Amino acid sequence: MTIHTTTTTTTTPDAAEPGTTVRAATASGRATRTPVRRAALVLAAAGAALVLAACGSGDGGDGGGHAGHGATPSTSATDTAGTHNAQDVTFAQGMIPHHQQAVAMARLAADRAYSVQVKDLATRIEKAQDPEITTLTGWLKAWGEDVPMAGMDHGDPGMSGNSGMTGMMDDKDMTALEKATGKDFDTKFLTMMVEHHKGAVEMATTEQAKGAYGPAKSLAGSIVTAQNTEIGEMQHLLGQG
């Protein structure tokens, strides 16, 4: 009887090189991942999660006090300018008829004035004050306040319901201006408009000091600057400057 012997030789690597995966043979012949491989996969997954979280946080506002794209600031311009007080209402309700009369006076100059300078001044007054009437009216409506002389054509030269207001002309003044022509008109127009502008400046100065509504105070400042300049211009044309 002959006996056959089989010799099996197993070779074990002395050391795995860094970064290599070590596999051990199982009875079924399949490879099983070692703890080294499993640890690497866990670390990779954790890193990916951190990257995704960091990217996602950039879609909204950050915590450092800077608003992200499309974020609403905590305090907007309308928040700081939206509050109004009784003085703002008084200013708007008074300046509307005041401007309306100035525009009515300015419109008379087109076919009555003699001087080109007076006609030019009148045109500038109308172009400046007519849009301001619209602005003031819009504020009062937004505040739920009465708009003075609503529905009345503010181009009516006879409008003098607020003749007691600073700088306003009465019926007699407006009638005299409407009947005047040439150099006589120029003198009457300039004399009356100087007083009219002084009244507007006084009203606007009060608004600057006592008003609360940002846009109204800003408009008041513009009125003071523009109308003081025009007062100087008119006084020069009258030979007073």
Residues 155, 106: contact at Cβ < 8 Å?
A: no
Q: Is residue 160 part of a domain?
A: yes
Nearest of 200, 185, 182, 197 to residue 233 by alpha carbon? 197
Q: Is residue 70 part of a domain?
A: no
How many structural domains are present in the chain?
1
Q: From first to last of its 241 residues, what are the pLDDT tens digits of the chain?
A: 444 444 444 444 444 444 444 343 344 444 444 444 554 444 455 554 444 444 444 444 333 333 333 333 333 333 345 799 999 999 999 999 999 999 999 999 999 999 999 999 999 999 999 999 999 999 999 999 999 964 344 344 444 444 467 899 999 999 999 999 999 999 999 999 999 999 999 999 999 999 999 999 999 999 999 999 999 999 999 997 5
Q: Is residue 221 part of a domain?
A: yes
CATH code where residue 219 lies: 1.20.1260.10
Distance of CA 110 to the CA centre of its chain: 36
Q: Amino acid identity of 25?
A: A
Angle at 91 between CA 77 and CA 86, to 5 degrees: 75
Q: Is residue 126 part of a domain?
A: yes
Nearest of 136, 164, 159 to residue 149 by alpha carbon? 159
Q: Is residue 106 part of a domain?
A: yes
Q: Which domain holds residue 108?
A: 83-237
Instruction: Assign residue 173 a region (left: φ > 0; alpha: ψ between -120 and 50; beta: otherwise).
Output: alpha
Q: Which pLDDT value is given to residue 240?
A: 79
Q: Is residue 199 part of a domain?
A: yes
Q: What is the pTM of this model?
A: 0.63
One DSSP character per residue, 84-96 reads --HHHHHHHHHHH
**Crossing angle of helices 214-237/182-210, nearest 10°?**
150
Nearest of 133, 131, 129, 126 to residue 107 by alpha carbon? 126
Q: Is residue 88 part of a domain?
A: yes
Q: Is residue 92 part of a domain?
A: yes
